[in-house]
Amino acid sequence: MKNRTLLFFILSILCFSCSKEYIEPVIDSDLQTYYDSFLKEAQSRNITISGTGGFVLKFGSANGGIARTYPAENKIVVDSVRWKDVSASEREFTMFHEFGHLFLKRGHNIRTLPNGEFKSMMLTYEANSNVESIHLYLGVRRKYYIDELFDENTAIPEWANLQFDPFPLTSSTRKLVASQDFDESKELSTYLDQFPNTQFKIPEKGILNVKLPKGDGFSLVPDKIMEMASVLPAKRNDFMKSNNYEIEFRYRLKSGTFKYLYSPNIYQNYAIFSHTFNPISYRVLSSFFYFRFSNYTINNDFNTIRLVRKGDFWSVYLNDKHLFYTDVWSADQANQLIFAIAGDEENAEFDLDYFRLYEL
């Protein structure tokens, strides 16, 4: 009996010791929300995260990156300097990426979706210097990337298919509200005066020729396009607040660099497509994004761009090819879509044929 009692006592001590082996994670208070959010996403998918005992998540130096994982030490270090310069979405993306390494044992994945966007948030640029896409982690894309993080077999989302065309062109469903055909320049003088170093002229009826000096730039957002289309301010504001409209314009690039940008906030700019633009040179701007759609552009001739808004969704078309779809907007709405021409290393020159505004 004494031996049994002694054995029970020893086993109780051993069990008690084992239960004490779990060490609570040590997490910086400013990073706690990302850890909690990751665990919540896992729980919603009935996935149990192991290895959290003794986990350390703190600020420090990440050797040039935003964050770095040290599996042997069960530790993630977030760079205290670079952290200040990234958006809220980039912060979550970075933390989930590192959690994927440490807790899900996932390696890097440089494969892409059919439309050229990255297939996984476990992407890396270091292992693929020729990659032409930089991630976009907002709206409908966020849900897909989190799903794929926990399940590598997640189906390709609809918006990533090349055949995806949410707002096909149908003339019968759109009503012309205003247009600018550049028959004469007098009605443009107020707007064009904002670009003192840029030369504007109408060499032939219906064409506005624009020349920029080296190092200068010219950009248009939908509100300015409406101004050039002679839409009165009050009507322009009403138009921008409506849920269904389309902006169409034609341009011809003669020299320089062209980019069509999506800028959802002050931190990020994404190049949807471009002429003579090398995305690799912009890698230092970690939020740049680039589609493999330059083959849709027509060199030395006019290209047609359509911006279509229906409800909370926006799409961009180039020569009637659907390129980009998003449901993420700030209070500034469509002015996050930017038509930008730059004379980076040479003088830039382009022609504008027309601007047209439609109600849908």
Maximum mean pLDDT: which of 4-8, 13-17, 103-107: 103-107
In a domain, 63, yes or no: yes
Maximum mean pLDDT: which of 75-84, 105-114, 272-281: 75-84
Tens-digit pLDDT profile for residues 162-187: 888 888 877 677 888 878 888 766 55
Q: For residues 8 and 334, what is the distance between their CA atoms, to the nearest angstrom?
A: 72
Task: State the pLDDT at residue 329.
Answer: 58
> Residue 59: exposed, middle, or buried by beta-carbon count in 10 A (0-12, 13-18, 19+)?
middle
Query: Does 189 share its domain with 283?
Result: yes
In a domain, 101, yes or no: no
Query: Does 156 share its domain with 297?
Result: no
Structure tokens at 28: 């910086």
In a domain, 239, yes or no: yes
Any idea what the CATH number is for the domain that residue 297 is in?
Answer: 2.60.120
Query: Mutual orientation of helices 32-44 and 88-102 as an angle, nearest 10°?
Result: 60
In a domain, 100, yes or no: no
In a domain, 17, yes or no: no
Question: What mean pLDDT is predicted for residues 335-347?
Answer: 67
Tens-digit pLDDT profile for residues 102-152: 999 999 988 888 877 789 999 886 655 444 555 778 888 899 999 999 999
CA distances 142 to 93, 145, 208, 313, Å, are: 9, 5, 40, 15
Comparing 210 with 155, which gets the higher pLDDT? 155
Query: Does 207 share its domain with 291?
Result: yes
- With beta carbons less than 8 A apart as the criterion, state whether 351 and 208 touch: yes
Comparing 236 with 205, which gets the higher pLDDT? 205
Structure tokens at 352: 């504008």
* Domain that residue 130 falls in: 106-161
Q: Residue 37 is inside which H or E element, if any?
A: helix 32-44
In a domain, 97, yes or no: no
